[in-house]
Amino acid sequence: MAQGSEMSTFDLVARLQISTPTLLKALNDFQAKILSPGTLDIKTKELIAVAVAHATGSLSGIMNYTWEAKKAGANEMEILEAIFTASVVCARTIIDRSAATFEALNSSTEEFSLGPV
């Protein structure tokens, strides 16, 4: 665990196995189905998962999907390329969303209020 009251992923899974075993099984079944061979091979799917885990900040996902990508035959350069590809997409998202900043800058406070936060 990182700090104080933060729950580790492993602790959370253990807790979910006790409190919501049916939902956890459904999630695991869903993951197994999606990450099984299909139009995309497993290595490609795991590389996508590594990239998405980085983009979303899922530390357990980064570890798990990196191990799985290696197991599926991905090498270090392929994994790094997937990560850098995700970083480009994330950077593009930040640029795209900056339009909202300019909209806020160019509007009056009254017309752009989201109300109390």
CATH of the domain at 77: 1.20.1290.10
**pLDDT over 90 for what percent of the chain?**
44
Based on the domain organization, do 78 and 99 belong to the same domain?
Answer: yes
Based on the domain organization, do 45 and 10 belong to the same domain?
Answer: no
Q: In which residue are the tokens 């900043």 written?
A: 101
Domain that holds residue 73: 37-105
Based on the domain organization, do 60 and 88 belong to the same domain?
Answer: yes
Torsion of CA 33, 59, 25, 69, to 10 degrees: 30
Would you state the pLDDT for residue 42? Answer: 96
Cα(53)–Cα(83) distance, integer angstroms: 9
Cα(58)–Cα(112) distance, integer angstroms: 33
**pLDDT over 70 for what percent of the chain?**
86
Determine the average pLDDT of the residues in 83-100.
Answer: 88
Residue 62 pLDDT > 70, yes or no?
yes
